[in-house]
Amino acid sequence: MEDSAVYVSLEFTPNPNTLKYSVNRKLLDKGAANFTKKDDAEQRSPLAWKLLNINGISGVMIGKDFVTITKTEDGDWDHVHRNASDTIDRHLTAGETVLAEDLAAGIANQNSSEIEKRIQAFLDEHIRPAVAMDGGDVTLDRFEDGIVYLYMQGSCAGCPSSTMTLKVGIETKLKEAVPEVIEVVQI
């Protein structure tokens, strides 16, 4: 498949400030990488760095086979879309690196408790694939005193329906799967 032409297709997300670009390439084996600062992206993701240099883009999330772009409040969607789509296409067509190898490999937290491992497994299997369909991601920060602290990323960050997703979707299902969970909060 890597020898075939690159296809980049636009998908709208529930978040009015994000667009999702699906591609016919595997960008990551699993999970997602989120970038909101050019300096962070420069060494870690050449693709995110290029996209963050486009006027009007404030965030880039790279998923398994998609890239989610978040625009600034004053960003112009026509400019952002045209340049983001072209940048993704050119970058992938040239076969350039998407993520640094150590970042793509995903360094696991060796200090996770047994409960955190169960929470992470549930998120990986049941929650993250669903939110990825809308160009987002949910990552575990920590579990403390019955409370699960999550980061909402990509189209989930700042989305008008993210509170509903978090409380009705994630919290309800996570409480059923991991009885030690009392509450889920976004950080």
CATH number of the domain residue 176 falls in: 3.30.300.130
What is the reported pTM?
0.74
Beta strands in 29-100, from DSSP E residues, in sequence order: 33-35, 57-62, 66-71
For residue 186, the 8-state DSSP code is: E
| Residues 169 and 49: beta-carbon distance below 8 Å | no
For residue 5, the 8-state DSSP code is: P
pLDDT at 62: 93
Q: Which of these three, 80, 105, 130, is where a domain ends?
A: 105
- How large is the average pLDDT for residues 18-28? 93
Evaluate if residue 46 carries a pLDDT over 70. Answer: yes
Residues 101 and 133 in one domain: no
Mean per-residue pLDDT over the chain, rounded: 87
Residues 118 and 81 in one domain: no
Residues 12 and 101 in one domain: yes
Q: In this predicted model, what pLDDT tens digit does every residue of 92-105 receive, in sequence order? A: 999 999 998 766 55
pLDDT at 109: 45
Residues 30 and 77 in one domain: yes
Q: Which residues contact 148 (CB under 8 A, 6 or more apart)?
A: 119, 140, 171, 174, 181, 183, 184, 185
For residues 124, 130, 134, 138, the Cα torsion angle rounded to the nearest 10 degrees is -30
Amino acid (1-letter code) at residue 23: V
The winner for highest mean pLDDT among 32-41, 84-93, 123-132, 166-175 is: 84-93
Q: How many domains does the chain have?
A: 2
Residues 22 and 59 in one domain: yes
| Residues 136 and 155: beta-carbon distance below 8 Å | yes
Residues 73 and 17 in one domain: yes
Residues 12 and 99 in one domain: yes
Q: Does the residue 1 lie in any domain?
A: no
pLDDT at 105: 55
Q: Which of these three, 63, 80, 105, is where a domain ends?
A: 105
Residues 99 and 137 in one domain: no
Evaluate if residue 108 carries a pLDDT over 50. Answer: no
How far is residue 74 from each of residues 80, 87, 99, 144, measured CA to CA in Å?
11, 20, 28, 38
Structural domain that includes position 99: 8-105
